């Protein structure tokens, strides 16, 4: 809003300055009338004009997301800014004051019409007042002194002047400018603009009188005689309007059509500059569909790659989707070649072999969204970390080693200690390089989650080493003097040995097997077990879903508390 007010005020200032420099003193009064009104309208329209530029960019490749920090998803606490309320209050107060003054002036004119006799002369109405006033006009009403009118002491030229104001509807212009002044009362330029509009009306009325055959010198003397009279209402036109000297000068001016055209043509570059400087500009990024961008480029799958893709796709498409299992290595080959193929190659090739788990891992946005929605429905705090080769995503949004700590802290901001303890995040690792994973682990340990969650890590922990066996000492038998032999219990075993300054205790035993794999996973989860399929870690809920889908699923607790799910 502030920029609109400033831009419109600047446009109005330029239009008005052009008028004062090049147009005010020429004799094209009708053109000047419409220029002043049109200039005001254009000044308020130019800031609304918006020029749009469209920029075409290729659609982002698969598995690449905008690098937006997770802090953007968390609204910050906002402090209430009272400045806009104060400014609007001042503005409305000004509108009220100027609006009241405008209505008061209108009421004063209507009151004169109602309280005094009105005579109709052709299409004009003569309002006869007792006061000694200067003749003035408001629309078709001409206000005259009653005594002078009845005594025929009002010159014919004065009546012609006022009739010109009424006939050309000059009051419309004044009301238009006055209403804008009420809305933009803080802009002092309207005071000078209103004077110029009224002065040009006087030029038009003066020319109308002179065109009736009145001598210029006679008419000028008449103007001088009326120039000392009292002032007239603000919304009306009177013959004694100020700037008599300028009116005399313009009466004698006859501007050639050539000069009028040349000065008018200067408006074209002026308007063009204002359009360029004060209109709005926006750039809209238009994404090209990925297949079209790839077709436009020279990059496409080779014949050998297509043959490899079709062979693998045909092999896995022959298996029902419920039982389809694609090794990670084959899945990466399929995804890589499919990403290189053009739209035509995809139409001619075997359909991509979709599968449940592997395909879900490949689609970052779908998996993360589904997992987060499920956690939210269950009232759980969690997050999703997905690591693929040398990239990492948090909740489906791209992150990096440099920003990983801040991005994860933004997600867990506001978590309580209980939230950190109860959270079971989903951490998926697909074909990641060991070096990248180690670097990311360093940043992970700096996060608030790792600081509050005991044992949190991105790495798959090795199984705990078996505790060394400690031989039991022989029992000591002491013969008593009167009681006979008494067995003394063995002393407690020595503490567990230390490794690198820490005591190593044997791993806890897993719960007894349960024929129902779903119930067994729930029991393992209660005892703090973690679930893996190959290198990938999963939550208990995910493990349950996977064993329910597979008839050949088995649960390996040989490395407990690490639980390996086979056949999923």
Q: Each residue of 464-475: pLDDT tens digit? A: 555 555 555 555
Domain shared by 376 and 520, yes or no: yes
pLDDT-derived band at 554, boundaries 50, 70, 90: confident
Domain shared by 317 and 453, yes or no: no
The answer to pTM > 0.75 is no
The confidence score (pLDDT) of residue 142 equals: 94
Our count of domains for the chain comes to 4
Domain shared by 251 and 317, yes or no: no
The residue that leads in pLDDT, 491 or 221, is 221
Report angle CA 101, 107, 109 to the nearest 5 degrees.
110
The confidence score (pLDDT) of residue 175 equals: 95
pLDDT-derived band at 105, boundaries 50, 70, 90: very high
**185 inside domain:** yes
Domain shared by 274 and 415, yes or no: no
Distance in Å from the first CA to the final CA of the chain:
61
- In the beta sheet, which residues pair with residue 144? 128
pLDDT-derived band at 100, boundaries 50, 70, 90: very high
Q: How many CB atoms lie within 10 A of CB 443?
A: 21
Pairing, β 536-538 against β 530-533: antiparallel
Domain shared by 390 and 426, yes or no: yes
DSSP 240: T
User: What are the pLDDT digits (tens) for 513-536?
Assistant: 777 888 888 888 887 788 887 667
Domain boundary among 288, 307, 341: 288
Check if the beta carbon of residue 118 is closer than 8 Å to that of residue 149. Answer: no
Domain shared by 310 and 189, yes or no: no
List the domain range (segments joined by +) for residue 458. Answer: 368-463+504-566
- Residue 181: pLDDT over 90: yes
Cα separation, 426 vs 537, in Å, equals: 7
Cα separation, 65 vs 384, in Å, equals: 15
Cα separation, 550 vs 323, in Å, equals: 8
Domain shared by 179 and 193, yes or no: yes
pLDDT-derived band at 395, boundaries 50, 70, 90: confident
Tokens of residue 226, six digits:
């009326």
- Residue 167: pLDDT over 90: yes
CA 205 to chain CA centroid, Å, is: 54
User: Among 19-23, 129-133, 395-399, 470-474, where is mean pLDDT lowest?
Assistant: 470-474
User: What are the pLDDT digits (tens) for 530-543?
Assistant: 888 766 778 888 88
The residue that leads in pLDDT, 225 or 462, is 225
Domain shared by 159 and 51, yes or no: no
DSSP percent split of the chain into helix, strand, coil, nearest 5: 50, 15, 35
- Residue 357: pLDDT over 70: no
């Amino acid at each position: 809003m502030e920029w609109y007010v400033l831009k419109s005020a600047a446009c109005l200032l330029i239009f008005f300055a052009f008028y004062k420099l090049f147009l005010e003193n020429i004799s094209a009064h009708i053109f000047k009338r419409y220029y002043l009104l049109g200039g005001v309208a254009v000044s308020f329209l130019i800031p609304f004009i918006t020029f749009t530029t469209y920029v075409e960019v290729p659609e982002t490749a698969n598995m690449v997301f905008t690098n937006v920090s997770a802090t953007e998803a968390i609204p910050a606490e906002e402090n209430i800014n009272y400045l806009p309320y104060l400014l609007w209050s001042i503005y409305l107060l000004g509108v009220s004051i100027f609006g009241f003054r405008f209505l008061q002036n209108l009421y004063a004119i209507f009151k004169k019409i109602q309280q005094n006799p009105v005579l109709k002369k052709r299409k004009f109405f003569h309002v006869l007042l007792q006061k000694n006033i200067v003749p003035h006009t408001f629309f078709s009403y001409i206000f005259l002194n009653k005594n002078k009118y009845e005594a025929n002491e009002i010159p014919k030229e004065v009546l012609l002047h006022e009739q010109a104001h009424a006939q050309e509807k000059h009051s419309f212009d004044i009301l238009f400018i006055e209403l804008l002044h009420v809305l933009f009362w803080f802009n002092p330029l309207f005071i000078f603009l209103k004077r110029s509009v009224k002065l040009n009306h006087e030029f038009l009325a003066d020319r109308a009188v002179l065109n009736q055959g009145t001598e210029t010198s006679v008419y000028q003397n008449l103007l001088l005689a009326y120039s000392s009279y009292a002032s007239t209402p603000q919304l009306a036109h009177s013959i004694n309007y100020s700037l008599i000297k300028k009116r005399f000068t313009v009466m004698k001016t006859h501007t050639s059509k050539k000069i009028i055209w040349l000065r008018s043509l200067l408006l074209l570059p002026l308007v063009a500059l204002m359009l360029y400087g004060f209109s709005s500009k926006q750039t809209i990024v238009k994404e090209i569909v990925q297949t079209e961008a790839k077709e436009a480029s020279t990059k496409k799958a080779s014949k050998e790659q297509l043959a490899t893709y079709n062979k693998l796709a045909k092999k896995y498409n022959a298996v029902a989707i419920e039982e389809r299992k694609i090794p990670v290595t084959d899945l990466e080959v399929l995804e890589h070649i499919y990403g290189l193929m053009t739209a035509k190659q995809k139409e001619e090739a075997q359909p991509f072999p979709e599968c449940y788990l592997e395909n879900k891992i490949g689609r970052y946005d779908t998996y993360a969204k589904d997992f987060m929605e499920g956690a939210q429905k269950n009232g759980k705090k969690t997050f999703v970390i997905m690591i693929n080769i040398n990239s990492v995503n948090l909740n489906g949004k791209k992150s990096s080693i440099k920003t990983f700590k801040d991005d994860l802290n933004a997600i867990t901001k506001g978590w309580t200690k209980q939230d950190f303890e109860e959270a079971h995040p989903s951490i998926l690792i697909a074909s990641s390089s060991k070096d990248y994973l180690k670097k990311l682990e360093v940043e992970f340990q700096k996060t608030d989650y790792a600081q509050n969650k005991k044992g949190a890590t991105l790495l798959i922990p090795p199984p705990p080493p078996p505790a060394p066996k400690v031989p039991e000492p022989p029992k000591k038998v002491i013969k008593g003097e009167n009681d006979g032999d008494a067995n003394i219990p063995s002393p407690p075993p020595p503490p567990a040995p230390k490794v690198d300054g820490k005591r190593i205790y044997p791993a806890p035993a897993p719960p007894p097997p349960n024929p129902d794999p779903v119930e067994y996973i729930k029991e393992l989860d209660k005892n703090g077990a973690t679930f893996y399929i190959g290198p990938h870690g999963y939550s208990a809920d995910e493990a349950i879903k996977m064993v329910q889908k597979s008839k050949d699923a088995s649960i390996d607790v040989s490395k407990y508390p690490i639980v390996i799910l086979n056949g999923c």
